[in-house]
Amino acid sequence: MRRTALALPLLATAVLLTACAGSPTAHTTTTAAAPAPTSTAEAEANSAGDGHEHDEASEHYHGPNVTWDAAAEAKVKETAAKAMALFGRPAVEETTWFKDLEPMLATEYKEDARYIDPARVPFSTVTDGPAISREAQNPMTVTASFDTNAGPWTMMLHRIGQDDPWLVTSISPVTPQ
């Protein structure tokens, strides 16, 4: 009796799943196929070694063309220095402090920064920096390091494209290890 009670719902589920799956061509759209390779060498050139053929157009797309150069470094240093100077103003009223800093903040960091009380920021003077560091193959994210009258601080900055602005994603004191 118990097996029969379980068998009916399982059978119904299997029927529904089979009906939903349909035929493989029922839900696909027609796209232009890549021309078939005309030689063994061409077929090997289009293979990525994964058992699938790849056309040239899909093999060379790597996202936005973003490079690291002297202009990118100068711009990120300028943005970082300005943002840190605006951040370290403990005597400024909270609304003004946030309004001045907001245009340089990434969307995800704005919510956090909105609740920072500038009176609790322990520094008022940047004494050195920014020193910029980044991963060798990543021209889109950097860490800026600063010395302040309250010790070392770091700032993370990110950009989406070559001509997009650098935006601050975090500002925090360096904690001793």
Amino acid 17 reads: L
Distance (Å) of CA 124 to CA 40, 82, 147: 68, 13, 11
pLDDT of res. 32: 38
- Token pair belonging to 78: 């300028």
pLDDT of res. 64: 64
- Distance between CA atoms of residues 75 and 163, nearest Å: 10
Residue that the structure tokens 């021309």 belong to: 35
Residue spans of the chain under pLDDT 70: 1-64
- Token pair belonging to 174: 């360096």
pLDDT of res. 136: 87
Distance (Å) of CA 26 to CA 1, 31, 33: 40, 14, 18
pLDDT of res. 63: 57
pLDDT of res. 36: 45
pLDDT of res. 139: 94
Q: Is 152 helix (H, G, I), strand (E, B) or coil?
A: strand
Cis omega before residue 130 (within 30°)?
yes
DSSP letter at 174? P
pLDDT of res. 177: 77
Where exactly are the structural domains of the chain?
Answer: 70-173
Topology, domain 70-173: Nuclear Transport Factor 2; Chain: A, (3.10.450)
pLDDT of res. 53: 53
- End-to-end C-alpha distance for the chain, whole angstroms: 66
